Structure 1
Amino acid sequence: MNKLLLSVVFVILMGIALMGQTRVSGIVKDASTGKEVYDLSVLLVETGEEVRTDRIGYFQFVDVKPGTYTIRISGTGYSRMEQPLMVGNENRIELGDLNVQFNPISDTLGVITLTEDELDDDESSSQSSVGLLQSSQDVFASTAAYDLGAYWFRVRGYDNKYNDVFFNGVKMNKIDNGRVTFNNWGGLNDITRRPSELTYGLEPSSTALGDIGGVTNFDTRPSTLPKRTSLSYSFTNRSYRNRVMATYNTGLMNNGWGFTVSGSRRWAEEGRIEGTFYDAWAYYLGVEKKFNDRHTLHLTAFGAPNRRATNSPNTQEVYDLAGTDYNSYWGWQDGEKRSERVRKTHEPIAMLTHHWNIGNNSKLLTSVAYQMGSDSGTRLDWYKANNPSPTYYRNMPSFYLQSGQDNPAMAEMFTNMWKDGSFGQLDWTSLYGMNHLRNLAGKSAAYVLAEDFQDDKTLTVSTNFKTKIESNIDLVMAVTYQNTKSENYREIADLLGGNFFSNVDDFADAGQSGQFDSMNPDREVKEGDRYEYDYEINRQYADFFIQTKANWDWLTWTFGATVSNTSFYREGNFQHYLYMNDSYGKSKTYDFWNFGVKTNFLFKFDGRNFIALNGQYSTNAPTADEVFVNARGNSLSVPDLKNAQIMSGELSYIYRAPRVKAKATGFYTLAKDEMEKSFGYIDNEAQTYFAAELLNGVDKQYFGTELAIEAQVTTAISVTAVASIGQYTYNNNPDYYLFSDDLTGGYKDFGKTYLKDYKLSNGPQQGYSLGIEYRSPNYWWLGVSGNYLMANYFDVSPFNRTRDFADLANNPDTNFIDEGTLRSLLKQHQTTDEFMLNVNVGKTFRFGKYNMGISGTVNNVLNNKNYITSGFEQMRGGSYQNMLDENYRTTFGPKMWYDQGISYFLNVYFRF
């Protein structure tokens, strides 16, 4: 009886609560096949409320107040569809079937994922672009990001710099290397979860012409984000251990205002690698005011201050002695672990965006943005003292077995010290002790903790105009201007107990002053003071973009073009003792004009069969790093600077049936006249250099095929198969320049480096994945994928492929060289092929307007620790004679990173 009474009361209360509420529902279907479409976004534009279609294409909005609305349906593979909606006092509005048109090159609402490697990149890791922008509802793209991308797989072997990223039309790529610093918005997943535009490869974009890797643009207005409060917690064993996120979005309210606030914290006292930590925050504010149907103003401000300790690459000898989890960058200090390599980033940005609906068919988007802040990293520096690194070559057993050393006793001693754990980490106590002795003598500190800064201030103004010339012809025009002032300097972060540090080069030859700043000689620097180098890079950039798109029943054709101008100059604040005329003051200005064209054809044979043909030719200006090779010391550059040329094409066949979706793509890209730069020591027969090496006129070739198929075996079970088979190589023998203080004039042309047909070091060049997923009607899922990665190569040392490696420049007699031995020494190292197993599982719950979900991902389930993610040859092995010694090759062997084995990520969210 009590149960019956409670049920009656519950029904009455629910009825009262639902009085006056209007429910709006409908079913989304494919216009060609009549089949229901799952997981499309359905947005109530005026409120910002978003729902997703379920397995039968059904969606529903509850508690919709009277008024005039626009329903927008969008998603990967479908053209965006909008429908007006009038809501009165009715209790329920059923819209019936809403048909959407299949379009394989439509705007993509995808999800961007980043691996921890991208957040942990340093000067050695080549800034992996694993999982960069490839995550979307496209089968190949999502598999490449989530499954293969977890193991440093790069789609088509492209570098991060080939992807263009925008916020409200403002480009975010950096001026020094053209890459994107994703940790500037790391932790703001609720804001960046679904870009307004995400293109893959050479697909056309309405934001910019774009590079060969695609374009991503985020529209961060509160009205375009889901109207809700979202709370989440994540637990993982990756770089960080814990993550909390909270987001509140009002959507667009009746008074025309909309507000979004979001924040997160990610942290770990110690990550997966010993001696690392992670401490990251993120914040976001969005304020939107809709004045009328024509004008909307939007303020966006966000930032992500973070600190994290990085881990070292090591030679195989080090890993054999200390294990594959070894990290040389830390040591004990007062009972706590302290790292010398700490990366700090905080580059907040604020932008004001105006949306102007000029008419029914024309829109103008204008943004003004300003970004500032710094990106810095610490490392130990020393003056007239020994290298303190545990992995310094004189601490390695193999060094004492080299020809000329022949000291097996020392080799055995270091072997035992490494293996018994009495040696292998930084000795902070010893560093402080050495500085104490220097203090007593009134001398400069022997060791300090230095911090290298890059402080950028960037002003951007962009405007984008879109209109319809005819009902089937669209036109886009965009103009961008960007001005950047980049301050680069080294600062004393910690004197480590010392009284001061000398701003003098202790490698200066006799008779040289050694003054890093000759205008302020013998300056004693303290904590917070700049020393060794201090300069600015000033860059101005402007571009104009125009594109037209024509759509017919059987063909969609797009043609776009862009023209741009880039100018650089360097302004030095120190006068270097070796470059009295080329270090202080303003350098010459380098000016580059560039252009690009892109065309796209989509042939639509019927609702199931499509062929897409895309092509692009563009030129790119050198980056600041490439123009000023040794910018820390001087403003010198190579004599024949030129624009890079990119030629790329792709041909795709797309098949789409109710239960089977498939895509096969062939692609070819030729990059000509590019530049590559790196730093390091070169131990040559003639001389040892600490140098910046520059390859000029580099040609690279990328070609291969991408295959993907998704089959809906039953209503609950789907199977996916993906293959990426590529070959990415150097396509010529570029010019080799060495910039070093040890060279007269600051640099030297060493002629050609013979790199043609060597493989590019950009992750596995072949990747295969087979996955099966079960999605229950009760909203839980389980997925398993097997992944096989092949053809992964180490980065080669270009100097070792010059004639000077064998001293042929000075000694043309080749009789002392054995060709077979030379080929063996210069053979590129290839890692082993490896199999990886991934599992993901999750469950979602709905309680009225409340949603809850829990999901988990486990990568490398089999705990395979043999997988080498990447590696590079050291520059130091710079002569044929040296490399003949097996122990020398061990001491100065390639450095690499190993995968750390099984990893997991557990996430719980609550939304209302």
Structure 2
Amino acid sequence: MNSLYNGIPKWHLWSGLNDITKNQDYSFGLGPSSSGVEGLLGISRIHIDPSENNRQGRVSVSLANRSYIWRTMGTYHSGLGKRNLAFSVSASKRFGTRGYIEGTNYNATSVYGGITYKPNNMHQFGLLTCFSESLRGQRAAITKEVFELKGRTYNPYWGFQNGSVRNSRETSRKATITMLNYRFHTDRLEISLGASYIYNLQKRSRLDYFNTNNPDAVYYRNLPSYYANLSRDRLSPDVVRVKSSFLEQSQINWTALYEVNTKKTRKGKCSYLLNNDVILDKEWLFSLKTLYEFTSFLSLHTGVWVQHLKSDNYALIADLLGSTYHIDVNPFSNTKNDVKGSEKKQKGDTHKYAYNIMGIKSESFFQLAFNFKRIDAFFSANYSKTAYQRNGFFINESFADNSFGKSPILSFDNLGVKVGGSYKISGNHLLKGFLIYQTSPPTIQNSFVNPRANNTVVEGLSSFTKKGSEANYFFNSFFLKGRLTGYLFDYSSETRIAFFYAETGVGNDFFQQVSTGLGRRHWGGEFSLEYFPFPNISLDFVSSFGHFVYTQDPDIQINFDASQATEDVINPVGKVSLGGAKLRNYKLANGPQHAYALGIKYQNLKYWWVALSGNFLAENYIQIANIRRTESFFINPKDPDGFPFPEVEDGKARDFLRQEKLDEIFLFNLVMGKSWKLGHAYLNLLVSVNNLLDLTYRSGGFEQARLANYRQYANDVSQGMPSFAPKYWYASGRTFFINLSYTFRK
């Protein structure tokens, strides 16, 4: 269920079906898996077979102030009946006019149905399907300046229209999954066959504007910092005026957008429109897995699977905001986006770009496992083949020779090997160790430089390498149990693509930044302990200490549109190599690298319980801008010989390039529950409160890459109010979740 586009699991496909998907098991870290050689972080298996559930039903209602306000859910399992049939059905509805963050509306529906037929103990047939539909208003990362003016719940993406909140950036999804499976089982042999079809439609909206003012309330020219840097005075009249204006109008002014679009001078032509970036994925998956037990101590897993993706991508005019048509021309280069199509586009028309991506991945694997009294061991290997191809449906005038039709087929062959074992010192002590070597293909996302415009692929694109080792010690006694883990994971030769507008030492433009040869290392340790001082009280301690850094300096190439006016073009080729970016030993922005939690739980014999935990999070860094770590950062674009700025100082440069570490955080969370037995039924109440002390903190962030030359960056930070400061994600304050469920067994 991992996406070929970005490698991430598609969790949203079954979002809201908690009752159905709660039965899971995990292969942690590098442990053995019935699916062969997986990645370095293990695998989750979700069991949704109706025959695995006893006959029961459950209805629940929830209240919250996080993403949604309320949720209702109902589930029924028939259990395996006299006709050897079992079925399950489930449905949920989640809704909220806003979550904790302003303007984040939420509306989601999910439905599941499954049936299993077991004619005897050897054969089992299953048909499962689920449907999900959702609409969510998005939030924005904001600078410290904006946070100090508006607070942590501020979101610039929305505004009032006719008295109602309207978010300009909404994500809507509609998806169905249909699965057929067959299982054959004897004492020694198990065969599983599966086929799945996924239909996944996603739309992301955003405002586009043409030859007019940027509608974004936090556009840098709408903020006090811009005028403070212009005047070199943080208290100038312009700063005071703009601050007052921003506080009065800090949301999208929908009324003003309609007024501009409906001016008589526009003659129906739009200046603003609401665009939908659409992705329609149609995906087939086929799998065959076998398990054969040669003896009580020797078994063999084998398997093959194929994943085929057709992904249609296009931009759709969702709303012309009072106007009647749009001219589909790039406003920066004055070139047509769709040479063969009509230049005049209306609501519902495809514009800007249209293409599809075909992706196919096939894999075969085996795992040989040995199980003895004290020693377990396994060896597994896999081989996979992956191919991608883009097919453009528009002739983009800026890339007339490279936008329409099919790209070359990108093909990657990969293999992986994993070995590991365990040693039972005694019934209470266990040792485990694992090693892995694996190559993996780049994702679709990191293969095509600018797929919305052309067929260009990353130069020298190749697979990347993953190597890892892990060791575990488990101990267990009557009142104490725990785990100690150490790990080392290395990734090398990775590729990353980023999109942004920047002012660099070689010129200004909207760039596609291609970073190749990236390397990173994750090493650290984990320790967990559970102590039972009394039968009804447990103490938990969990700690994670990590060191996650870049280990290689990647090569940076920037790509751009070379069809603009001659005086504005950096070069006619449309790309510049900036050489290496000095990233080695910078920290990865993967969240806190140190985490510690201490919890206490009390369980009463009258079926109620309460748990309190304290969590300390540290060593959390923001994402750095790679382009700022290249030599081009110091080059004066106005110097004909490409010399650096004369005012560059080593000490100041180190300050500019120092990675920001976010504040350490200490959070308290509280969870309580109560259960009542009502004949053959149960009533359960669950209450949880996160961030009990209502602390304000930043959970993550990133550097803005716009000012990618030394002089402009120095000017921007000189007054202590930078216009292009890092942007942060401010976490929610105190939030709650209340769930009341009723479970019946007849």
Give TM-score, length-normalised by structure 1: 0.78
Highest RCO, 1 vs 2 (Cα 8 Å, sep ≥ 6): 2
Q: Classify the secondary structure of the residue corresponding to 2:244.
A: helix
**In structure 2, how many angstroms separate the alpha carbons of the residues matched to 1:795 and 1:224?**
44
Give the superposition deviation at 1:405: 8.0
1:877 paired to 2:707: yes
1:694 paired to 2:521: no
Aligned to 2:687: 856
**1:122-137 correspondence to structure 2 within 5 Å:** none
Aligned to 2:271: 446
**1:408-419 correspondence to structure 2 within 5 Å:** 408-418=236-246
Q: Classify the secondary structure of the residue corresponding to 1:574.
A: coil
Q: Classify the secondary structure of the residue corresponding to 2:129.
A: strand
Q: Classify the secondary structure of the residue corresponding to 1:731.
A: strand
Give the superposition deviation at 1:664: 0.8
Change (3 A) 1:889 1:804: farther
Aligned to 1:338: 166
Give the superposition deviation at 1:233: 0.9
Q: Classify the secondary structure of the residue corresponding to 1:431.
A: helix
Identity percentage over the alignment? 31
Structure number having the greater strand percentage? 2
Q: Classify the secondary structure of the residue corresponding to 2:632.
A: helix
Does the aligned pair in 2 maintain the 1:685–1:879 contact within 8 Å?
yes
Aligned to 2:478: 658
Change (3 A) 1:746 1:632: farther
1:363 paired to 2:190: yes
Give the superposition deviation at 1:709: 0.7
Aligned to 1:890: 722
Does the aligned pair in 2 maintain the 1:765–1:791 contact within 8 Å?
yes
**In structure 1, how many angstroms separate the alpha carbons of the residues matched to 2:451 and 2:280?**
15
**In structure 2, how many angstroms separate the alpha carbons of the residues matched to 1:695 and 1:673?**
10
1:780 paired to 2:611: no
Aligned to 2:126: 298
* Equivalent residue letter for 1:473: L
Aligned to 1:113: none
Does the aligned pair in 1 maintain the 2:228–2:721 contact within 8 Å?
no
1:498 paired to 2:323: yes
Does the aligned pair in 2 maintain the 1:572–1:583 contact within 8 Å?
yes
Give the superposition deviation at 1:444: 2.2
Does the aligned pair in 1 maintain the 2:377–2:420 contact within 8 Å?
yes
Aligned to 2:567: none
Give TM-score, length-normalised by structure 2: 0.96
Aligned to 1:489: 314
CA deviation string 1:455-499 (max 9, x = no partner) = 000011111111101111111101001111000111001010111
**1:597-608 correspondence to structure 2 within 5 Å:** 597-608=417-428
* Equivalent residue letter for 2:418: K
Does the aligned pair in 1 maintain the 2:91–2:109 contact within 8 Å?
yes
Give the superposition deviation at 1:888: 8.4
Does the aligned pair in 2 maintain the 1:755–1:801 contact within 8 Å?
yes
- 2:180 pairs with 343, 352, 355, which one? 352
**1:404-483 correspondence to structure 2 within 5 Å:** 408-418=236-246, 421-437=247-263, 440-442=265-267, 444-483=269-308
1:286 paired to 2:114: yes
Change (3 A) 1:275 1:844: same
Count how many residue pairs are aligned between Structure 1 and Structure 2: 730
**In structure 2, how many angstroms separate the alpha carbons of the residues matched to 1:430 and 1:485?**
40
Does the aligned pair in 2 maintain the 1:399–1:888 contact within 8 Å?
no
Give the superposition deviation at 1:269: 1.2
Does the aligned pair in 2 maintain the 1:299–1:351 contact within 8 Å?
yes
**In structure 2, how many angstroms separate the alpha carbons of the residues matched to 1:877 and 1:808?**
13
Give the superposition deviation at 1:680: 1.5
Aligned to 1:381: 208
- 1:669 pairs with 489, 498, 506, which one? 489
Does the aligned pair in 1 maintain the 2:300–2:368 contact within 8 Å?
yes
Does the aligned pair in 2 maintain the 1:256–1:289 contact within 8 Å?
yes
Aligned to 2:339: 518
**In structure 2, how many angstroms separate the alpha carbons of the residues matched to 1:373 and 1:539?**
15
- 1:713 pairs with 528, 533, 555, which one? 533
Give the superposition deviation at 1:293: 2.3
Aligned to 1:9: none
1:902 paired to 2:730: no
Aligned to 1:401: 228
Aligned to 1:175: 4
1:264 paired to 2:89: no
Give the superposition deviation at 1:745: 3.4
CA-atom RMSD, angstroms? 1.6
**In structure 1, how many angstroms separate the alpha carbons of the residues matched to 2:43 and 2:625?**
32
Does the aligned pair in 2 maintain the 1:645–1:673 contact within 8 Å?
yes
Does the aligned pair in 2 maintain the 1:455–1:488 contact within 8 Å?
yes
Aligned to 2:560: 740
**In structure 2, how many angstroms separate the alpha carbons of the residues matched to 1:380 and 1:662?**
52
Give the superposition deviation at 1:803: 0.7
Q: Classify the secondary structure of the residue corresponding to 2:330.
A: coil
Give the superposition deviation at 1:406: 7.1
* Equivalent residue letter for 2:196: A
**In structure 2, how many angstroms separate the alpha carbons of the residues matched to 1:716 and 1:309?**
43
Change (3 A) 1:812 1:889: farther
**In structure 2, how many angstroms separate the alpha carbons of the residues matched to 1:815 and 1:341?**
43
**1:550-589 correspondence to structure 2 within 5 Å:** 550-589=370-409
Give the superposition deviation at 1:749: 2.0
Does the aligned pair in 1 maintain the 2:111–2:132 contact within 8 Å?
yes
Tell me whether 761-770 or 691-700 shows the greater mean CA deviation: 691-700
Q: Classify the secondary structure of the residue corresponding to 1:402.
A: helix
1:802 paired to 2:627: no
Tell me whether 751-760 or 687-696 shows the greater mean CA deviation: 687-696
- 1:233 pairs with 52, 55, 61, which one? 61
Give the superposition deviation at 1:582: 1.1
Q: Classify the secondary structure of the residue corresponding to 2:315.
A: strand
Q: Classify the secondary structure of the residue corresponding to 2:573.
A: helix
Aligned to 1:823: 654
Aligned to 2:445: 625
Aligned to 1:25: none
Give the superposition deviation at 1:266: 0.6
Tell me whether 776-785 or 788-797 shows the greater mean CA deviation: 776-785
**In structure 2, how many angstroms separate the alpha carbons of the residues matched to 1:422 and 1:226?**
59
**Structure 2: runs of 5+ lacking an equivalent:** 563-569
